[in-house]
Structure 1
Amino acid sequence: MDLKKDKALIINLVYMAILAITLVYDMMAKEGVHTFRIGLAAVTAWIMFFVYKKTFLRRSRISFYLIFIFVFAAMYLGSVLDFYIIIPGYDKILHLISGIIIAYIGFIFYLTLVKTDDKEAVNPMMGVVFSIIFSIAAAGAWEIWEFSTDQLLGFTSQNNSLIDTMMDIICGTVMGILANIPIAMYIKGKKVRFIEKLVEDIRR
């Protein structure tokens, strides 16, 4: 493996260094109050890395960057640095962002399934519908994950509130739908720079 060319691995290693420094600070200044969350963040990062390497996501480096940004914002900034507490509405901001990210992951998955990145060969309706359904499903799956960790590990991700859970799903769904507007425009022949970069990334 050429470390210089494996940017995903480099990013993960740098992240591990940041987590290690944070762990030392947490143990010295805060009596290790966030030790478990730091460890969970590290485990999650490596799971994310291996999923990226072993699935359809490996065709798109952009997909790794998008997922990493979300995981970093959710687990490091949110849980370790307490942004969920410090910044009002931070959880909802993340769910809005996740809807956009998941929509693009869904589109990458669709292109992989149909085995083409040629926009002329992609059915516009199928590509957009698949991406939207993928976003809705992922929003629901994330809430199942949060419910499971709350019950098993004693977290309070959902604040024991059905309203909070449903608002999270709605945020992810709405942004997933809106994120498909540029996808639909691209498929119909419009020039959309980000989607073009995403497709070119898969083509490499």
Structure 2
Amino acid sequence: MKQKQIMITADQALPGREQALIVDDVHYVNHSSLTASPENGCQEILFGMGCFWGAERLFWQLDGVVSTSVGYSGGYTRNPTYEEVCSGQTGHTEVVRVVFDPQVLPLRQLLNVFWERHDPSQGMRQGNDLGTQYRSAIYVYDQEQLTISEQSKETYQALLTEQKQGTITTEILPAGKYYLAETYHQQYLAKNPNGYCGLGGTGVCFPPE
């Protein structure tokens, strides 16, 4: 089990495949496109918070979020399957792609939700879910997102330290290739309301603005 919590190198990763997985493009809840590029001033960002089922549900319910989808990023294997990601041999983590309108939901507020609703200090796990695919991550698309995310991390670390909690292990990096997960994973908890949700926070919240 510990082997699954050790990050592999590119040379060790499964090769994957050239062809992308065939995934339905329509969001099961709000009927938006899962693959469309952000329009009309909207932005996108990728969040890793452990199992992506509960994380996606968290975000699609927020005012200002236009679309969500789940997939794999941060690793090496091309067009991976869920089984390959769970093997720990792809380097990818489970992520949620969030397309949002910063005029309605500023990135700082979106990040507050990200930090508060999982435990970003657990390394290669989230609760009982163990493995590199469950690591905490923020993958950004421009320098402004990077700066805001790093500042937000510093602020939340100070709050955790005040409460004698752990050190944040979240990786914050420029977004690489994002691979959509299989259709049955998309909006999973809307299709399966009693399905597994491992989402859980530290209990430490940002002060109200």
When normalised by structure 1's length, the TM-score is 0.28
Higher relative contact order, chain-length normalized (CA < 8 Å, sep 6+)? 2
- Rg larger in structure: 1
When normalised by structure 2's length, the TM-score is 0.28
Question: Which has more helix, going by share of residues?
Answer: 1
